Each structure stands twice: as C-alpha cells, then as structure tokens.
Amino acid sequence: MSPSPASAVLHSFAPIESPQARVLILGSMPGAASLAAARYYAHPQNRFWPIMGELIGAGPELDYEQRLQALRAAGIALWDVLAQCEREGSLDAAIRDDTAVANDFAGFLARHPRVRTLLFNGAKAEQSFRRFVLKPLARPDLRLLRLPSTSPANASQRPQMKVAAWREALSEAGVAVRGA
C-alpha cells in the first residue's frame, strides 16, 4: 500500500550559498508552492522577496537567479532547517516532528566558516533548529535570532514592522542594507 499524498515525505532544497556568506537565513521546510516551483519562497503572498528587495535589492521584479545572486553578493546564504519531513498542506504547524530530519549544519558551517549569524524565518524554523540541531552542533559562537515569519499565514504583524525587524537583524550581522 503506497502512502497518500498527504503523508508523502517532503524534501527541502540545496542551500543557496557562497564563500562570502556571513549570515544564514533559515526557513523550516518549503511550502507547497515553493516545492512545486522548486524555488525558495515561491508563494506570491510570501513577503520574503519583497523584504529582500527593499533591503538588499533582491526583489520579486528580478528573475529568480538574479535574486539569488543578490543574496550571495550581500553575504547571505539561504536554507531550511529540515532536510525532510511529512506535512499535510503548507503550514509549519502541520509538520510532523516525528518524521523530521535536519539538514547537515555541521558540514555547512565547516564549509562556511564566516557564517556567525543564523536568522530564523519564523518560530517553527527556530524551534526545529533548537530541537534537532543545536545541542549536537555545539557551536556557542553562533548568534541565533528569530525574525517575524514572511509567510502569508503570519498576517498579524504589519509589513513595515517585519521589514524593520529584518533590516535591524541583517544590519547587526554586517550586511549592507538600504535605509540602515
């Protein structure tokens, strides 16, 4: 008996990385729209790319590869905490923690020794990192900061408050941001 689509194992993407990366932005697991498009933050209502456009010039008006290049040029890497999990739908709350497998952060950080700041795109990314990665990673030198989720499911916070929080965090991490 094969699993139903609702219980299918989901797999995250390879990281967006560069040798100059100083900051790693982490989501939990790509949503359905992103998985279908094979692109980070592909849902049209997700605020990630508009925020990155305002802060570093990596906005949705650029094609996807140009956005990724702008992230790399700014010293930003992008990945997800989970390598795989089971989830029905796109909401982080639907991720089944008993099926979650974390990405290889020890390997990533060994390849990117300049990364000292991890920014979590929402609570689930931070919770998953702390639960599945932090203790075995044993890296007290890392700065960990949860930011407001850019997901359309997080509509309780005004867009400009999200931009301000992301601006402050990126600026403190040494990323040259507009309006800082």
pLDDT of residue 143: 95
Give the mean pLDDT of 163-172.
96
CA dihedral (54, 149, 100, 38) in degrees, to 10, reads -40
- pTM score of the predicted model: 0.91
Q: How far separated are the first and last CA of the chain, in Å rounded?
A: 56
pLDDT of residue 2: 39
Residue pLDDT, tens place only, 35-76 = 999 999 999 999 999 999 999 999 999 999 999 999 999 999
Point out which residues pair with 25 in neighbouring strands.
78, 119
CA–CA dist 62, 59 (Å, integer): 6
CA–CA dist 14, 83 (Å, integer): 9
pLDDT band at 163 (very low <50, low <70, confident <90, very high): very high
Sign of the torsion angle spanned by Cα atoms 150, 8, 10, 144: positive
Instruction: Scan for tokens 């408050």, then name that residue.
Output: 161
pLDDT of residue 7: 59
Q: In the chain, where are the structural domains located?
A: 5-172
Radius of gyration of the chain (CA): 16
Q: Write out the DSSP string of 91-122.
A: -GGGEEEEEEEE--HHHHHHH-TT--EEEEES
Residue 154 pLDDT exceeds 80: no
Residue pLDDT, tens place only, 84-135 = 998 887 767 777 888 889 999 999 999 999 999 999 999 999 999 999 999 8
From the list 180, 5, 6, the residue with the least C-alpha distance to 88 is 6
CATH architecture of 5-172: 3-Layer(aba) Sandwich (3.40)
Active site positions, annotated: 46
Instruction: Scan for tokens 């040029």, then name that residue.
Output: 73
Burial of residue 26, with CB atoms counted within 10 A of its CB: 0-12 exposed, 13-18 middle, 19 or more buried:
buried
Token pair listed for 105: 């952060």
pLDDT band at 5 (very low <50, low <70, confident <90, very high): very low
CA–CA dist 147, 67 (Å, integer): 20
pLDDT of residue 146: 97
Q: Distance between alpha carbon 19 and the CA centroid of its chain, in Å?
A: 18
pLDDT band at 1 (very low <50, low <70, confident <90, very high): very low
Give the pairing type, strands 76-80 and 82-87: unpaired
